């Protein structure tokens, strides 16, 4: 099958969160199954060095309101693979310090930037004769693609029969813009209605993707059910509930070339489930010393690597971290995001030297070192569509402590005695989003770490030996692509 995978970020080119890992991981899984894949993303000039941009293979021109805007299409390959990557190079839109936000504010022209990107990719597919069977769009940045395909392109010879899949990575980001931005999509006014592109008077690109795609997926089975309810649907629950079988949840896989303690070049000593020690202990000691924490093998070191937003449960952590410091514990935080949370973490670090470390910023190497060097990993997210760090933690023998929601519920199972015996218990999970429920889960971890090391090691083994790779999820996406094609056939 020929698949055009369109994403606003992908490692190693540009990343703000899990979408980047997923776009690349999925593309690689599909390609290694023998499918012909092109991964398309914007050429963020300040993130992608010139030598990594490949060469120009074509040019496109898109009518954006009164102007015709040009972009070069550059083609490179994903490092160490032959997988084709298209970079849409338009410096007015993509030569910026960040991907979406600067100084706490979204770029004012985000709708224009990403609608241009979406349309440019479709032009490129046609101009360069990469005529896909499936176009797979991700999140609001590419939400207009299913609509353009359905309303405009499918009537053309080149795109007849092409199926679209739209994946929701996070319902919290709608891509909502003033109604006059509809013009930037090139689509007719009649589509600006409450069943298709409009939401509370605005153009809503997330809703657009959901409404027009042949199949809609999200990144875990539990989140697929949750978002059909008002508590998680961010206002679009009814639209999602109406999707019925058109909506499918598929748990993200892990790119085992990037996140594998046996191969990881970014950690000080490699280890595996068969030979956890001395590697894991060495990673912990190095991390403690690099971060200025007391180098103490017995202290339970909690790690956390995250975007600092309300989603991630930092309110629970800040409410109970001082209780947890009464035990022999330490904390290593790495994150960037809301100013309030950055300040909170900096203050905690100052107040508890040797016990709490807070690194504010985006640091891939440290992210790997925290995964490897910590004993436990905090992920008490209020909601979590999938979550990758709990899966990375499981693979690194680092015990996740999670709120049982979305993909966290689908990957972490409480380590009760029964679950340890039946080989499923791999972490600690609390059900109600509440500071005391969170604290209790942490105490269960502290108790086991201090007094039941055999159970702790069993739990590490359970997490490390399950298959978290893209093998299964890649196959699930293929099934969804087939369903999308069947739907197109039945409607044309």
Q: Which residues bind ligand ADP (CB under 6 A)?
A: 17-18, 21, 305-307, 334-336, 362-364, 367, 386-389
Total residues at interface with ligand GLC (CB under 6 A): 14
- Least separation, in Å, of the C-beta of 335 and ligand ADP? 5
- The Cα 319–Cα 424 span in angstroms is 30
324 binds, among ligand ADP, ligand GLC, none (CB under 5 to 8 A by kind): none
Instruction: CB nearer to ligand GLC: give 18 or 132.
Output: 18
- 146 binds ligand GLC, rule: CB under 6 A: no
- Least separation, in Å, of the C-beta of 486 and ligand ADP? 30
425 binds, among ligand GLC, ligand ADP, none (CB under 5 to 8 A by kind): none
The closest alpha carbon to 255, from 11, 9, 5, belongs to 11
- The Cα 373–Cα 366 span in angstroms is 10
Residue 195's alpha-carbon distances to 58, 173, 262, 418, in angstroms, are 37, 19, 50, 48
User: What residues from 184 to 223 belong to the interface with ligand GLC (CB under 6 A)?
Assistant: 219
62 binds, among ligand GLC, ligand ADP, none (CB under 5 to 8 A by kind): none
305 binds, among ligand ADP, ligand GLC, none (CB under 5 to 8 A by kind): ligand ADP
- What is the radius of gyration, based on Cα positions, of the chain? 23
- Least separation, in Å, of the C-beta of 128 and ligand GLC? 28
- Least separation, in Å, of the C-beta of 487 and ligand GLC? 23
123 binds, among ligand ADP, ligand GLC, none (CB under 5 to 8 A by kind): none
Q: Three-state SS across 49-86?
A: CHHHCCEEEEEEEEEECCEEEEEEEEEEECCCCCCEEE
Residue nearest to ligand GLC as judged by C-beta position: 18
- 18 binds ligand GLC, rule: CB under 6 A: yes
- 305 binds ligand GLC, rule: CB under 6 A: no
Q: Exposed, middle or buried: residue 388 (CB in 10 Å: 0-12, 13-18, 19+)?
A: buried
User: What residues from 366 to 425 belong to the interface with ligand GLC (CB under 6 A)?
Assistant: 384-388, 407
Dihedral of alpha carbons 445, 469, 384, 267, sign? positive
Instruction: CB nearer to ligand ADP: give 224 or 485.
Output: 224
Gap between the terminal Cα atoms of the chain: 20
With residue 111 as reference, give the H or E element that holds it. Answer: helix 110-127
Instruction: CB nearer to ligand ADP: give 209 or 387.
Output: 387
Residue 233, SS3?
helix
Interstrand relation of 247-249 and 215-218 (parallel, antiparallel or unpaired): parallel
Q: Which stretch binds ligand GLC (CB under 6 A): 18-26, 276-284, 327-335, 455-463?
A: 18-26
Q: Which stretch binds ligand GLC (CB under 6 A): 12-20, 58-66, 156-164, 362-370?
A: 12-20
389 binds, among ligand ADP, ligand GLC, none (CB under 5 to 8 A by kind): ligand ADP
Helices and strands: H and E segment counts in the chain = 18, 20
- Least separation, in Å, of the C-beta of 210 and ligand ADP? 19
Crossing angle between the packed helical segments 144-151 and 110-127, to the nearest 10 degrees? 50
Contacts of 410 (CB under 8 A, 6+ apart): 220, 221, 222, 251, 386
Interstrand relation of 428-430 and 399-403 (parallel, antiparallel or unpaired): parallel
335 binds, among ligand ADP, ligand GLC, none (CB under 5 to 8 A by kind): ligand ADP
The closest alpha carbon to 28, from 273, 253, 311, belongs to 253
- Least separation, in Å, of the C-beta of 395 and ligand ADP? 12
- Least separation, in Å, of the C-beta of 45 and ligand ADP? 21
Residue reference for tokens 């099934």: 479
- 170 binds ligand GLC, rule: CB under 6 A: yes
Contact at 8 Å (CB) between 206 and 139?
Answer: yes
- The Cα 447–Cα 342 span in angstroms is 30
362 binds, among ligand ADP, ligand GLC, none (CB under 5 to 8 A by kind): ligand ADP
Phi first, then psi: what are they for 68, rounded to 5°? -100, 120
- 17 binds ligand GLC, rule: CB under 6 A: yes
Q: What is the largest CA-CA distance in the chain?
A: 70
Instruction: CB nearer to ligand ADP: give 202 or 390.
Output: 390
Instruction: CB nearer to ligand ADP: give 185 or 390.
Output: 390
Instruction: CB nearer to ligand GLC: give 22 or 206.
Output: 22
- The Cα 335–Cα 348 span in angstroms is 14
- 304 binds ligand GLC, rule: CB under 6 A: no
Instruction: CB nearer to ligand ADP: give 175 or 335.
Output: 335
- 22 binds ligand GLC, rule: CB under 6 A: yes
What is the contact surface with ligand GLC in residues (CB under 6 A)?
Answer: 17-19, 22, 169-170, 219, 252, 384-388, 407
């Amino acid at each position: 099958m020929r698949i055009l995978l369109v994403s606003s970020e992908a490692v190693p080119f540009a990343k703000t969160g899990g979408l980047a890992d997923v776009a690349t991981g999925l593309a690689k899984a599909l390609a290694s199954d023998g499918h012909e894949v092109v991964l398309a993303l914007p050429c963020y000039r300040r993130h992608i060095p010139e030598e990594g941009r490949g060469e120009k293979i074509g040019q496109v021109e898109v009518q954006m309101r009164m102007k015709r805007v040009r972009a070069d299409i550059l083609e490179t390959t994903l490092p160490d693979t032959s997988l084709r990557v298209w970079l849409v190079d338009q410096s007015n839109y993509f030569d910026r310090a960040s991907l979406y936000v600067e100084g706490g504010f979204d770029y004012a022209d985000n709708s224009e930037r990403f609608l241009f990107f979406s349309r440019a990719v479709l032009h490129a597919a046609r101009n360069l004769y990469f005529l896909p069977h499936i176009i797979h769009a991700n999140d609001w940045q590419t939400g207009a693609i299913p609509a353009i395909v359905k309303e405009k392109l499918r009537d053309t010879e080149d795109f007849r029969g092409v199926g679209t899949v739209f994946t929701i990575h996070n319902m919290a980001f709608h891509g909502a813009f003033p109604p006059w931005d509809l013009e930037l999509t090139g689509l007719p006014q009649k589509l600006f209605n409450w069943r298709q592109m409009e939401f509370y008077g605005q153009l809503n690109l997330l809703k657009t993707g959901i409404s027009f795609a042949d199949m809609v997926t999200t990144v875990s089975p539990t989140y697929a059910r949750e978002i059909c309810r008002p508590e998680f649907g961010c206002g679009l629950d009814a639209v999602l509930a109406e999707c019925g079988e058109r909506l499918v949840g598929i748990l993200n896989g892990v790119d085992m070339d990037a996140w594998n303690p046996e191969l990881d070049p970014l950690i000080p000593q490699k280890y595996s489930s068969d030979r956890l020690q001395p590697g894991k202990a060495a990673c912990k000691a190095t991390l403690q010393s690099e971060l200025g924490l007391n180098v103490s093998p017995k202290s339970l070191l909690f790690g956390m690597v995250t975007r600092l937003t309300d989603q991630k449960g930092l309110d629970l952590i800040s409410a109970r971290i001082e209780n947890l410091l009464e035990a022999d514990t330490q904390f290593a935080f790495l994150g960037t995001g809301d100013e309030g949370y950055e300040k909170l973490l900096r203050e905690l670090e100052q107040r508890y030297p040797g016990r709490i470390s807070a690194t504010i910023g985006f640091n891939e190497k440290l992210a790997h070192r925290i995964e490897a060097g910590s004993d436990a990993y905090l992920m008490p997210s209020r909601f979590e569509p999938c979550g990758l760090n709990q899966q990375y933690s499981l693979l690194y023998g680092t015990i996740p402590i999670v709120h049982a929601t979305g993909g966290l519920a689908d990957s972490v199972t409480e380590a009760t005695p029964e679950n340890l015996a039946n080989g499923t218990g791999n972490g600690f999970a609390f059900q109600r989003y509440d500071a005391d429920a969170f604290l209790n889960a942490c105490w269960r971890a502290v108790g086991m770490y201090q007094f039941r090391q055999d159970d702790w090691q069993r739990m590490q083994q359970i997490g490390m030996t399950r298959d978290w790779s893209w093998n299964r999820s890649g196959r699930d996406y293929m099934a969804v692509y087939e369903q999308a094609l069947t739907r197109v056939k039945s409607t044309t």
